[in-house]
Amino acid sequence: MLKYYWGDFKMKKLRNINIKKEKNSMVIKLIIFMVVIVVSFIFILLKAEVVDKTNKEMTDLNSIIISADSKSDKKAYVDVSYTPYQFAVSEETENSYYIIADNNYLYIAYMSPSDFARLNVEGIETSPIRAEGITKVTTEEIKKLAIEAYNEGLEESEKITLDSFNDYFGSVYLDMTIKENSSASFLTLLFIIALVTGVVGIIVILIKLISFNASINRLEQGLAGELDNEMDSQNAFYYKKAHLYLTDNYIINFNGKFVAINYKDVVWMYPYEYRVNGIKSNQSIKIMTNSGKVYTIASMELVTKAKKEVFNEIWNTIASKNSEMVLGYTKENIKLMNDTYRNKKGKKRI
């Protein structure tokens, strides 16, 4: 059974300070992503507080209609117990005006197709669904259209007039398209972004940390000592941004995994560009060894002259260590490498 303990993160075979810093950096990132997850739950708690505050400020529409105070621009709700009846469509949007009702009164509501779909369900008579919005003064035009829809099919004595409209529907309607809980929606979005970022970040860093630690622990003690001496040598070059050491005899890459490649084993080296929408975002170096394995090193965003100089220095240093390695990504080099190292060894073609 595979066992992996937090204590295993402790350096076992390599004493180089920069390798230890690399591992500590991953642990710090892991902690940061944990904090991001904690922050995400703070966002959801704040959302709950905002929703609770909004609910306390919200009043049922009938209470606003019969109130002596100003009736417009109030947060209101109706517990709808009947399927809304459409009587007018907005010319500018997909929204429509509906006649809605709770168990006691009729109201006018302005809602989107999605809101209508939410209320147009079976069983609403026994399980009312709350509709929320902001009150707006009902215009003469909307009153006339609502009266026309209401009066359709009724006896003359049962029909209502413009003068009696307010007695049936009130002087304001419920505009459900104005969302007062925009803060709650924003906090929900922040919660989702923070939670996903934190979880994905932890998974990625954990995989890197475990892989990094495992690759070091697989080193033979003799080789580990040799690599330590190489990295500590005055002739070694350490490239912090590239997560790379170039020593007298080895390319030591520790970006994600710890890999030590002897220069004499390198048979092919070529640059590789990463592009986003056709624009070069960063560049790296691909190295193939005589075993047919391809490694990616020195992945960098070449946005400054200094970084380009570092990239070129890494390339030139490696190239100078083995005069027999093939340089560049050309058709001739691809065929040569496939024929010499990949196909004969049963490897996948490049």
Q: How confident is the model at residue 31 (pLDDT cuts 50, 70, 90)?
A: very high
Q: How confident is the model at residue 5 (pLDDT cuts 50, 70, 90)?
A: very low
- Contacts (Cβ under 8 Å, ≥6 apart) of 349: 338, 342, 343
pLDDT > 60? residue 311: yes
Helix (H) or strand (E) holding 257: none
Could you please state the CATH topology (level 3) that the domain comprising 219-350 is classified under: PH-domain like (2.30.29)
CA 36/CA 197 separation, integer angstroms: 8
Q: Residue 56, exposed/middle/buried by CB under 10 A (0-12, 13-18, 19+)?
A: exposed
Q: How confident is the model at residue 32 (pLDDT cuts 50, 70, 90)?
A: very high
pLDDT of residue 181: 58
Q: Residue 186, exposed/middle/buried by CB under 10 A (0-12, 13-18, 19+)?
A: middle
pLDDT of residue 303: 66
pLDDT > 90? residue 306: no
Q: How confident is the model at residue 307 (pLDDT cuts 50, 70, 90)?
A: confident
39-86 pLDDT tens trace: 999 998 988 887 777 667 788 899 989 887 767 888 899 999 999 999
Select, from the ranges 1-15, 40-54, 326-340, the one with the highest average predicted confidence (pLDDT): 326-340
Mean pLDDT taken over the chain = 86
Proportion of the chain above pLDDT 70, given as a percent: 90
| Residue range(s) of every CATH 2.30.29.30 domain in the chain | 219-350
226-253 pLDDT tens trace: 898 989 898 899 998 888 999 999 999 9
**CA 258, 261, 267, 268 torsion-angle sign:** positive
| Residue range(s) of every CATH 2.40.50 domain in the chain | 58-177
84-123 pLDDT tens trace: 999 999 888 899 999 999 999 999 999 999 999 999 999 9
Among 66-70, 124-128, 200-204, 224-228, the range scoring the smallest mean pLDDT is: 66-70
- CATH class of the domain comprising 58-177: mainly beta
CA 266/CA 292 separation, integer angstroms: 10
pLDDT of residue 350: 56
Proportion of the chain above pLDDT 90, given as a percent: 48
Which amino acid is present at 111? M
247-296 pLDDT tens trace: 999 999 988 788 999 999 999 999 988 777 767 678 889 999 988 889 99
With vertex at residue 148, the alpha carbon angle to CA 130 and CA 116, rounded to the nearest 5 degrees, is: 25
Among 153-157, 203-207, 280-284, 300-304, the range scoring the smallest mean pLDDT is: 300-304
Q: Are 20 and 9 in contact (CB under 8 A)?
A: no
pLDDT of residue 4: 40
Per the model's pLDDT, the better-predicted residue between 234 and 348 turns out to be: 234
Which amino acid is present at 18? N
Structure tokens at 68: 């002596």
Predicted TM-score (pTM) above 0.85? no
Structure tokens at 157: 């004595």
